Amino acid sequence: MYNRYYMQVFSYLITLTKDRSLAEELTQNTFFRALSRGGYHGKSDELTWLCAIAKNLYMDELRRQKHFSADAPVETSGAEDTQTQVEDKDTALRIHIILHTLDEPYKEVFQLRVFGELSFAQIGKIFGKTESWARVTYHRARLKISERLEKQ
């Protein structure tokens, strides 16, 4: 099971954490927890089950950290126009705020596609759904984000 699903679980966690070392640690903990709890019982796809464990471990980690710093310094190149930087940061912040309020599964599907760069087939597999479901959900998420941006 470890050899079969390691990269997929790791990729999923990289998408969530944006931190390679944390993703590696959580991937190891995912398989440890999966195998120490009596193993797979066949109620869902193995990958879906592992990703659910991984997501729960990640949420536990977030609760432990208890902070999201919106004030983290961002490296910029001196060649960029300051006005463009301000506008880009403002737009990015607005999108992240909208994304934060987006309902599931739209939020997670959008993050997996945009930040995790996963295929629709992979996203569908994570949710135990079809590739078409993943495509439709992603495009609906994009529409919701666009509509909310226009309202602002």
Domain spans, the chain: 2-65, 84-151
pLDDT at 48: 83
The gap between the terminal CA atoms of the chain, to the nearest Å, is 47
Q: Read off the pLDDT of residues 44-84 as tens digits, 9 standing for 90 and up.
A: 677 888 888 899 899 888 888 764 444 444 444 444 444 45
Contacts 24+ apart (CB under 8 A), 65-73: none
Residues of the chain scoring pLDDT < 50: 67-83, 85
pLDDT at 41: 58
pLDDT at 82: 45
Q: Domain spanning 84-151: which CATH class is it, in words?
A: mainly alpha
pLDDT at 133: 92
pTM, 2 dp: 0.45
pLDDT at 26: 94
Q: What is the C-alpha R_g of the chain?
A: 18
